[in-house]
Structure 1
Amino acid sequence: MSAPHLQDGIDRAGSAVQLLWKPGAAPWTPEAVDSEYAGWRAEQRAWHEGVAVSNLSHHMYDMVIEGPGATKLLAAVSANNYEKFAVGQAKQIVPVTERGFIVTDGILAREAEQRYTLSGVPASQHWVQYHGEQGGYDVSFTTDPSTAYRPGGADPKLFRYQVQGPLAQQLVESVFGGPLPPTRFFHWTPVTLGGRTFKALRHGMAGQAGYEFIGDWADGQYVLDALLAAGEPLGVVRVGALAYTTASVESGWIPSPTPAVYTDPALRAYREWLPLYGIEGQRPLHGSFYSDDIEDYYVTPYELGYGRLINFDHDFIGRDALLEAKENVRWSKVTLVLNNDDVRRVLGDDPGFTLSYSRHRIESASGPAGTTYHIASLDPYHAILALSLVAPEHAAPGTEVSVVWGEHPGPGTAADADLGFPRIRATVQPAPYNEHARTRYRRDDA
């Protein structure tokens, strides 16, 4: 008997929303990494004030896309510019459906002229592989899943360690005996340490200067030990799973938006190809914002802030719809700073650590205003921040709104039912919230 596919799950549940709606679902955190090492507050402060090391080796899928048709395939299924995509460069991939809604993003690295590695949650990888196989492209796919899904508890193929913070450069120079070659943001340079060669990717976790070191897993412990030893005089702090998940809130990245693949009749064959027990069938929806229509959760790349990555100089799936979407942006990405008095009133006198990917309803004095996507405590700002999408008329910094705090029960209860949920006042601020991330570190990634 074959394994159930996504369309099976939708049919049995009655709708995509009925399949995915899971009130109170626990927030995702990276697997195989301790929750905390020095405490989440100290770990967050480290990448703002000192230097932090994060282990990213376990929670991402990596798919190698290789062959004479690799670039042709990627150009056909994503909106990125491949003419100006250098070997040794990485980009966020922007795949969209025929209607211009995003599938989800991922990090695409060009390893050679016809060899790429796509990393992240596997929704974008599924999209690329399906079209590669169905379109008959001369290309192969090799996937290394995250540790939670790797058979038999096998080790990852790659290690990934991030070094971030104002003292990151000092740590790196101590490890390598001097500065690394000048490297643009989201580009990498090969480096050697103790006879081991690996990549140094210029990357920022939350706007701070730093690197992501990537190489063969067999060399990983040696590299990690060297980074920690060199960082000891600088007060290096290891970042655990809790603190790591909060960085995207201040850097303005909305992780894993709802893949827009559940409703289009033309994508039925795709849904029958996708496994039910994968990201598309299992990533939960919950919070105070509820709709019976899954399309109310779809977003375009423009609404996520990816307009700078879109290139119309080639034909790709969804090109015409994206041209139209460019002139019809429904949502603006913002950061909400939740009112601390209201937070204590609703969550208690000592809220502690808060992390949620729930879709909470945002309201203005005139009615619904938007939806939260990622909420987290950020100790360096002494606040809980909510990375959100709001209607453009509510996006000006300083605008006052409120967040409806609660868990809608889902199907069977009206979307606009008065459930008595408390409101938390919030102030609109820019996204990214981190000033360095907003003004500097993204200039060179197009």
Structure 2
Amino acid sequence: MAIPSLQDGIDEAGSPVELLWKPHAEPWLPEVVDREYAGWRLEQRAWHQGVALLNLSHHMYDMWIDGPDATRLLADHGVNNFERFAIGQAKQYVPVTREGTIVTDGILAREAEDRYLLSGIPAAQHWVRYHGEKGGYDVSFTTDPSSAFRPGGGDPKLFRYQVQGPLAAELVERTFGGPLPETKFFHSSPVALDGRAFRALRHGMAGQAGFEFIGPWEHAAYVHEAFLEAGGPLGLVQVGALAYTTPSVESGWIPSPVPGIYTDPDLLEYRRQLALFGIEGKRPLNGSYFSADIEDYYVSPYELGYGKLIHFGHDFVGRDALLKAKHSVRRTKVTLVLDPDDVREVVGQGQDPGFHLTYARHRVENGTGLIGMTMQTATIDPVGTLLSLALLDREHAEPGTQVHVVWGEHPGSGTDPEADLGFPRIRATVRPAPFNEHARTFYRRNA
């Protein structure tokens, strides 16, 4: 029996939105990690005030691209600058369609002259592999799915541990017996513990300094235990699945935007290659914002804040569309700080709402109507309320602007997208994205 494709699912449902619309969808959480260790509030505070250890080993999808055409393939299908891409460096890789809409982003690390590792949500990997095979590039691909989807189970090929927070540097020195080599942001250095070799990627989240340590799975348990032992006197806190999903809201990264692949007739073959039960067919849409047209959910790299990553000095798929759109971007990314009293009343039914996370697209309105949509919302305990990453029409995106978030679940097709369904409104204030000042200044300057 043939495995159903994404196009099969669209045809059976009647449209891409009919396929993806799932009111009250449960938010994604990282696989094979406890929901909480010390409690999500303490875990969030750890990377703001102390030191936190995060295990990224199980939920990342990895794909290695090897061969003499590896750089050409990635440059032909990504907006990034490959003229200055050192071995040991990583970049946020941004592939787009010919219309200039994002497929999704991923973390691309250059491991050797003709070898790269692309990690993250697998939509970008699917895109690169399809075009590499269809285009006849001289490359090979090796994949390692996330632990929830690895055929036959088994361990990952790599471990990934993040050490974050104001005390991260002290923890690293305690673990390794001294400071690590001076390393630029998003570059890596070779390190070792008792003869076990791996790499340290200079990285951070929510504006806090830190490293991501990446190495062969055979060393995973030893390295993890070494961090726990060295971190004991510092109050090291392990971060569980709930808290792990939230720093992206503070750091301004919108995870898993809707890939712009569902409507272009020239991508029919691509949709027939994709499995229905992959990320493109199963990442749900929900919230108070509803449109029957999937293209209303597409986004451009400009809207996501990736404009400075676009390098027009080379030809790539979508280049002409991005050039044309450069000076006419309608929406921009902002942070919405939801009013704590309204959150308590609407989300918490008069009580402390506790932990809340959603990737729902909620309507954002002002006195004249719709001005944008939320993309991710989460409780940020150190801030004392919910924050939303949102895309707003530029004329309504000035920091300090007062708006309303419509809190509810549109039922989908058959109901007017503009119908007043009696959903409550939560007052919110527009703030910059990233919300964290250090992430907004230092990280964005050095990324």
Q: Quote the residue 2:198 is aligned against.
A: 198
User: 1:424 maps to what in 2?
Assistant: 426
State the alpha-carbon separation in 2 of the partners of residues 83 and 132 from structure 1.
Answer: 20
Q: Which amino acid aligns with 2:12?
A: R
Per the alignment, in what secondary structure is the counterpart of residue 375 of structure 1? strand
Q: Specify the code of the residue in structure 1 equivalent to 2:290.
A: Y
| Partners of 1:335 and 1:226 in 2: CA distance | 37
Q: Could you tell me how far apart the structure 2 residues matched to 1:69 and 1:444 are?
A: 28
Measured after TM superposition, the shift of residue 383 of structure 1 is: 1.2
Q: Corresponding residue for 2:135?
A: 135
- CA distance in 1 between counterparts of 2:21 and 2:146 reads 24
Give the letter aligned to residue 65 of structure 2.
Answer: I
Equivalent residue, structure 1, for 2:445: 443
- 1:357-379 CA-partner distances (Å, limit 9, x unpaired): 00000001121110000000000
The amino acid that maps onto 2:392 is V
Q: How far apart in 2 are the matches of 1:75 and 1:81?
A: 8
CA distance in 2, matches of 1:218, 1:330: 49
In the aligned structure 2, how far is the partner of 1:288 from the partner of 1:326? 30
Mean alpha-carbon deviation: is it higher for 322-331 or for 420-429?
A: 322-331
**Aligned pair 1:91/2:91, yes or no?**
yes
Q: Who is 2:389 aligned against?
A: 387
Q: Residue type matched to 1:98 in 2? A: R
Q: 2:414 aligns with which of 412, 417, 421?
A: 412
Distance apart, 1:224 and its partner CA: 0.5
Checking the alignment, whether the CA contact within 8 Å between 2:159 and 2:216 is kept in structure 1 is: yes
Q: What residue is the counterpart of 1:161 in the other structure?
A: 161
Q: Distance in 2 between matches of 1:435 and 1:383?
A: 17
2:370 is matched with 368
- The whole-number CA distance in structure 1 between the counterparts of 2:209 and 2:169 is 8
Cα distance in 2 for partners of 1:123, 1:441 equals: 25
The match for 1:24 is 24
1:314 counterpart residue number = 314
Give how far 1:26 is off: 0.1
Secondary structure of the structure 1 residue equivalent to 2:159 = strand
Q: Give the drift of 1:325.
A: 1.6
Does structure 1 retain, via aligned residues, the 8 Å contact 2:9–2:19?
yes
Residue 354 of structure 1 is matched in structure 2 by 356
After superposition, the C-alpha distances for 1:92-151 in whole angstroms (9 at most, x for unaligned) are 111000000000000000001110000001000000000000000000000000000012
Partner Cα separation in structure 1 for residue 23 and residue 15 of structure 2: 16
Matches within 5 A, 1:72-87: 72-87=72-87
Report the Cα distance in structure 2 between the residues aligned to 1:94 and 1:441, rounded to whole angstroms.
Answer: 17
1:187-226 equivalences in 2 (<5 Å): 187-226=187-226
Q: Match for residue 150 of structure 2?
A: 150
Give the match's secondary structure for 2:246: helix
Partner of 1:111: 111
Unpaired runs of 5+ residues, structure 2, are none
Partners of 1:442 and 1:48 lie apart in 2 by 19
Q: Which residue identity does 2:371 align to in structure 1? A: A
In structure 1, the partner of 2:183 is 183
What is the aligned-residue identity percentage?
70
* Whole-angstrom distance in 1 between the partners of 2:202 and 2:445: 13
1:441 offset after TM fit, Å?
A: 2.1
Equivalent residue of 1:303, what SS? coil
Per the TM alignment, residue 442 of structure 1 is displaced from its structure 2 partner at its CA by: 2.8
Distance 1:101 1:129 in 2: 18
- The AA in structure 2 aligned to 1:215 is G
Q: Return the alpha-carbon distance in structure 1 between the equivalents of residues 282 and 109 of structure 2.
A: 27
The DSSP-based 3-state class of the residue aligned with 2:417 is: coil
Q: Secondary structure at the match of 1:332?
A: strand
* Consecutive aligned runs of 4 or more in structure 1 exceeding 6 Å deviation: none
Tell me the distance in 2 between the aligned counterparts of 1:37 and 1:335: 28
Helix, strand or coil for the counterpart of 1:209? strand
Q: What CA distance in whole angstroms lies between the structure 2 residues aligned with 1:426 and 1:58? A: 35
**Residue type matched to 1:383 in 2?**
T
Distance 1:43 1:305 in 2: 28
Task: State the partner residue of 1:338.
Answer: 338
- Which residue identity does 2:129 align to in structure 1? Q
| Structure 1 counterpart SS, 2:444 | coil
Q: In the alignment, does 2:436 pair up with 1:434?
A: yes
1:399 and 1:194 map into 2 onto residues whose CA distance is 54
> Number of residues paired by the alignment?
445
Matched residues in 2 for 1:264 and 1:417: separation? 29
Distance 1:204 1:197 in 2: 22
Gaps of 5+ in 1: none
* Cα separation, 1, equivalents of 2:212 and 2:164: 9
